[in-house]
């Protein structure tokens, strides 16, 4: 069955336990929960809602991840970056390979956009193919639509 071209979701969903790797926990008993909202057809991009209770832990990123904090706040620290507090509305991008110390102050809820990065050469090839596709196929579709309108 083909995937829908448009999917919708909501941030107020029931979250299921999504435990933090025990060896990453530095302080407290942070309890993480999550719920997937969408996944790309190729499986390389996902969107999810994630929450966590108070605690301190390390996090290692094996994918590119962009987050926007919906509720609560965190203090984030990483090599070469002093501790800084982030709260509602803040957007943070973590590149694949990044690692950070998270200090959840009470509670945090975020929406996360996860993307598997592609090698530089492959990324260039994909962009070139997409540009050619837009140039030839989109303009052909537009010409056909104009002919139908004029007809």
* pLDDT digit string, tens, across residues 53-71: 999 999 999 999 999 999 9
CA gap 30, 139 in Å, rounded = 53
CA gap 121, 19 in Å, rounded = 36
Q: Domain 16-115 falls in which CATH fold?
A: Jelly Rolls (2.60.120)
CA gap 64, 106 in Å, rounded = 26
pTM of this structure = 0.75
* pLDDT digit string, tens, across residues 75-126: 999 998 899 999 999 999 999 999 999 999 999 999 999 998 766 665 556 6
């Amino acid at each position: 069955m083909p995937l829908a071209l448009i999917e919708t979701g909501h941030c107020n969903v029931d979250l299921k336990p999504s435990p933090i790797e025990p060896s990453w926990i530095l302080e407290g008993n942070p309890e993480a929960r999550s719920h997937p909202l969408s996944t790309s057809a190729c499986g390389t991009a996902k969107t999810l809602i994630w929450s966590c209770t108070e605690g301190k832990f390390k996090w290692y990123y094996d994918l590119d991840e962009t987050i926007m904090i919906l509720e609560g706040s965190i203090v984030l620290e990483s090599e070469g970056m002093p501790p800084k507090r982030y709260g509602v509305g803040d957007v943070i991008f973590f590149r694949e390979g990044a690692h950070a110390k998270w200090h959840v102050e009470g509670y945090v809820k975020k929406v996360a956009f996860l993307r598997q990065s592609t090698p530089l050469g492959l990324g260039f090839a994909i962009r070139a193919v997409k540009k050619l596709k837009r140039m030839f196929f989109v303009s052909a579709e537009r010409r056909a639509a104009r002919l139908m309108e004029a007809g």
